[in-house]
Amino acid sequence: FERGIPHILEGGPTVNGLPLWPQIYYLMRCGFPDAAADLAEQAKGQIEGEGGLFHHHIRQYVNSGDSRTVSSGSLGKLVQEYTVQVRRGSDPFRRVCYVLLARMESSGDDTMSLVEDDYHLLFNSIEDYLWLRLNLVREDSRGSGAGLNTGKRLLLRKVQEEVLSFGSAHFDPKGDRSFQYVHVLLLTCQYKAALEYMSRSSSADLTDTAHLALAMYYYGLVEAGEAPLDEKESPRLDTLPELIWRYVKEFSRPYPREAAMYMFLFRDSILRHSLLRMLMLDTGEYDAIVGSTKSDAQRKGALDELWQYSGEPVEAKNLLIASAAEAADNNGDRDAALALYALCGEEERVTSILLHVLSAQLLGPNNDGKRKILRRAEEHRRTVQNSSGIIRDAKLERSFSTLLNLYKFFNLKESGKFSQAWETIKQLNILPTRDDQLIQKAVEWKDGSRDLNEDVTDRIGDILVAAMECLAEMYSSERRRSSAQGGAEVRTEIKAYARVLVNFAGILQLPSDVSAKTIRIEVLMS
């Protein structure tokens, strides 16, 4: 107006020397409908002189509170005034003021529609256009539009469809202003669509996307969706959890505690547990995340600090850690499984895994991997020995101890210390050394033995052959001695041991190659 009053506004009502209707419109556009009503009241004489009651209608509109409606009677008068006088007039601001109060569809050929040129004159930005459309939206039929005019309501769904029909190409044509389109989607309550667009836009920052998503989730504007993908798969950003997972993976290894905090923002315990499991297994930072649940431990992890906010009992934390250990074991990551089971005090599960690995590597090469698992097993044995009753399964405990001693036996044998190896196996008392022990030892070694589990019993063939090889080496050593030194009695004793073991192999009905090896070794002693 500093540049002059447009000719289309000349001759209309004025207040303070300026056209009335633009002032009312801009007061409403800026969020001051009360001031707009006061201004209309000042000009009521001029308004009535034009044959209208707008000052009365806007006061009713303001007094309706948050509903921002007028009564059916006032609406009828508004529509009549608009149809007879306003729509055909030259003042676009007067038209839009009436449309705002009526809150009816303003596009097309509807009763309260604006003239096409009005949009170009009044709305200089998408924000202006959306402000008008959203101010006209009315989801219920109470107040304005009741009765006959219910069908003229502008529903939010239609505004949403308009925005989607324009598409991202209209609001972000170059693909470098993703938030412009996101802003429009948010204003029209299309929260999921906004997140989907941001998550796929090359110009959108993942940090912004993740935190916007969490804020909307916190206020209930979007749902968390299904549980995240299986640990073996890679996130596809199809759900909110997957979006957050993609974000935290950027810093989860150096800052696992901070990453865990994001998981606790999810209200659903199943979803939260799934994400925390993935975090443990992906980072391997078990001490930082889990800490220790052992009573004598001093370390605290992120779970210890954050669990109070989950509303779950402490026992659920141990179950979560155990489930992560189980997942690691199922995926073949034994190191992770051992660490996690130990951290949650599941020493029997630690024993079971170690037993299985030790059994598999019993005859393997003496490499770093084998030495590492053996050190881990010895450390675990000391832990078990120092904590009475920590393993309640006697069969498991005996099997574990037996297998560790078998490692000692095989190491002595591989080192050429055959006599020491034989004494070690004798002290274990797992093989018969006399004929009267054959049946008893066979019962102990048979499948389903109450004394040893299959990780040990499955190795009986290897143990028998190794023991026979020790006896053969001992026999050869004795035979090489000079007759002056004697040794016939010792050789006879060694052959007697060998005969017992050959008979033992026959009683156990071991594979034919095992029996053949034991017999061949015995023959070599003859």
63-104 pLDDT per residue, tens: 999 889 999 899 999 999 999 989 888 899 999 999 999 998
Joined together, the tokens standing for residue 292 give: 């220790």
Predicted pLDDT at 114: 86
CA distance readout (Å), 51 to 11, 46, 81, 192, 312 = 15, 9, 8, 48, 68
Q: How far apart are CA 525 and CA 491, in angstroms?
A: 9
Residue 137: CB atoms within 10 A of its CB come to 18
For residue 132, how far is the Cα from the chain centroid? 41
| CA–CA gap between residue 326 and residue 352 (Å, rounded) | 12
| SS3 label, residue 473 | helix
Q: What is the pLDDT of residues 377-395, one digit of tens each?
A: 998 888 877 766 566 788 8
> Per residue in 438-451, pLDDT tens?
998 888 887 666 77
Quick one: average pLDDT of 197-202?
Answer: 82
What pLDDT is recorded for position 109? 64
Q: Tell me the pLDDT band of 196, cut-offs 50, 70 and 90.
A: confident
In the chain, the amino acid numbered 419 is S
Residue-wise pLDDT for 149-179, tens only, equals 545 788 999 999 999 998 888 888 887 777 8
pLDDT in tens, 213-255: 999 999 999 888 744 444 444 444 468 899 999 999 999 999 9
pLDDT at residue 57 greater than cutoff 90: yes
Tell me: the pLDDT tens digits for 254-272? 999 999 999 999 999 999 9
User: Any residues with CB less than 8 A from the CB of 382 and at least 6 apart, and which?
Assistant: none
Cα–Cα distance for residue pair 440/431, rounded to 1 Å: 10
How far apart are alpha carbons 380 and 140 in whole angstroms? 69
Grade residue 298 by pLDDT with cuts at 50, 70 and 90: low
Contact 220, 240 (CB under 8 A): no
**How is residue 60 written in tokens?**
């009713």
φ/ψ (deg, to 5) at 97: -65, -40
Collapsed DSSP state (helix, strand, coil) of residue 146: coil
Mean pLDDT for all residues in the chain:
87
C-alpha–C-alpha distance, residues 430 and 401, integer Å: 12
For residues 412-432, average pLDDT: 94
